[in-house]
Amino acid sequence: MNQQTHHLMNLQNCTSQRVLSRVRDLYEVVNPVIGDEGKTSSYFHQFNPQGVTFLYLGENLQVTGHTWPERGTMALDALTSDPNEGLRIVNGISEVLGFTTSSLLDHNKSDLSTPYEFGTQTTGYFTGVRDRWIEDDTERLNTMREIAHTAGFTVVGEMLYNGKDSSATALVLAESHFILRQRKNGTLWADIFTCGDEGSSIQGMNNLKKRISTSNSEIRFYNR
């Protein structure tokens, strides 16, 4: 049903842990890999004392990364219309940051069978969506804040992207994210990743689903 490919990669044993600590260092390494200059919007959030969350949003591109410098790890995602481009991005970032261990999750099926290393991710794909709050930037952002509050998420940043045929709204959470992408054809993609003491990504998706009028939906859950 979903025409885009979602690559989820867990990265461990970074040989450049210092780069994972600060926005400036990480941006200088990650940005050339993603490329597409002028066609994407980016957001980098600095955590104290260390650690970074970054997001890139474009017409047919979504990339998120969350770093834990003290452990030398990163949770990395790429949502693209071209599966080869998604693989190029996640493999490229892994290589330039010097990760010696990586695992690519199977995005085609739910998997909650194994204990998670980083957190839990829930994705949703909805068709035939015509809810008015989704079409308005302010209403969409306010509704996402309400959903995040109800699910126990801690919002530390926000991001908007408006393209020709699609738009996206992102809430940066404490080491995690909540993103909605909608297209003019009535399709909606939702992506919630939570970790640590953050609220449940599954609860967040259930809260979102109650707000949506849809003709069809597909929900997947991952421990990662």
- Boundaries of every domain in the chain: 5-223
Region of residue 12 (phi > 0: left; psi between -120 and 50: alpha; otherwise: beta): beta
Radius of gyration of the chain (CA): 16
How distant, in Å, are the alpha carbons of 5, 96, 174 from that of 201?
Answer: 20, 30, 13
97 token code pair: 């940051």
- At 83-123, the pLDDT tens digits run 899 999 999 999 999 999 988 876 665 565 555 678 899 99
Please choose, from the candidates 158, 191, 162, 189, the residue with its C-alpha nearest in 3D space to the C-alpha of residue 173: 158
Mean pLDDT taken over the chain: 90
pLDDT at 169 over 90: yes
The proportion of the chain whose per-residue pLDDT surpasses 70, expressed as a percent, equals 93
Strand, helix or coil for residue 213: coil
In this prediction, residue 35 carries a pLDDT of: 84
The single residue listed with the structure tokens 């992506």 is 191
Q: Give the distance, in angstroms, between the CA of residue 211 and the centroid of all CA atoms in the same chain.
A: 20
If one looks up domain 5-223 in CATH, what number appears? 3.60.90.10
Residue 44 · residue 52 · CB < 8 Å: yes
The pLDDT score that the predictor gives to residue 85 is 92
pLDDT of res. 1: 41
Residue 184: which pLDDT band, with cuts at 50, 70 and 90?
confident
Q: Is the pLDDT of residue 10 over 80?
A: yes
Amino acid 116: pLDDT: 61
Give the mean model confidence (pLDDT) for residues 12-26.
93
Q: Per-residue pLDDT averaged across 66-83, rounded?
A: 93
Which whole number is the average pLDDT over 42-59? 95
* Integer angstrom CA distances of residue 155 from 53, 55, 197: 12, 14, 13
pTM: 0.92
pLDDT score at 60: 87
Q: What is the pLDDT of residues 126-159, one digit of tens each?
A: 999 989 999 899 999 999 999 999 999 999 999 9
